[in-house]
């Protein structure tokens, strides 16, 4: 049973990336995480053009789901990080999860 796909349920693949110059562990997003992010993206697209929070909401969702300790971050915590670093981290998570221009590459 150890080689069974059932034995792999709940396991997460991880790698370390730099965030604000420090190693940070990211995880591949689960199928459920990806679906939730896609749902939010569809919702954000329907918001008025002057709504500037949509992109940040997506960044938060990706980082909370795909980084070690991310689920513990508050909205206020996100406000204290440089936006470019959040964007880069979110991009690394998406890339590692096989979503985006460099799908599935882990380097």
Question: How does pLDDT run across 14-60, given as a tens digit for each residue?
Answer: 999 999 999 999 999 999 999 999 999 999 888 887 777 888 999 99
pTM of the model: 0.84
Tokens matching residue 25: 């562990």
DSSP 107: -
- Distance (Å, rounded) from C-alpha 107 to C-alpha 103? 11
């Amino acid at each position: 049973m150890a080689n069974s796909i059932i034995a792999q349920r709940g396991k997460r693949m991880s790698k370390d990336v730099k965030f604000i110059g420090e190693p940070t562990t990211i995880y591949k997003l689960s199928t459920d995480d990806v679906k939730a992010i896609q749902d939010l993206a569809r919702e954000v697209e329907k918001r008025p053009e002057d709504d500037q929070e949509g992109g940040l909401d997506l960044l938060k969702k990706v980082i909370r789901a795909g980084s070690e300790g991310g689920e513990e971050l508050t909205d206020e915590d996100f406000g204290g990080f440089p936006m470019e670093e959040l964007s880069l981290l979110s991009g690394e998570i998406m890339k590692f999860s096989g979503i985006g221009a460099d799908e599935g590459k882990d380097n």
